[in-house]
Homo-oligomer: A and B are copies of this chain.
Amino acid sequence: MITDRQQVTAMIMSAKVSKQIKWSQAAEVIGESKEWSTAACLGQMAMTKIQAEAVGALFDLSEEAVAWLQIAPYKGSLPTAVPTDPLIYRWYELVNVYGTTLKELIHEEFGDGIMSAIDFEMDLTREPDPKGDRVKVVMSGKFLPYKTY
**A residues whose Cβ falls under 8 Å from a Cβ of B:** 1-4, 10-11, 13-14, 17-18, 20, 22-24, 32-36, 38-39, 42, 44-46, 64, 67-68, 71-72, 74-122, 124, 126-127, 129, 131-149
Contacts and interface: CB of A to CB of B under 8 A. Distances in A.
Contacts of A105: 23, 34-35, 38, 124
Contacts of A132: 142-144
B85 A110 contact: no
13 contacts: A35-B105, A72-B111, A77-B96, A77-B99, A87-B103, A87-B114, A88-B95, A90-B116, A91-B95, A118-B145, A133-B143, A134-B143, A137-B138
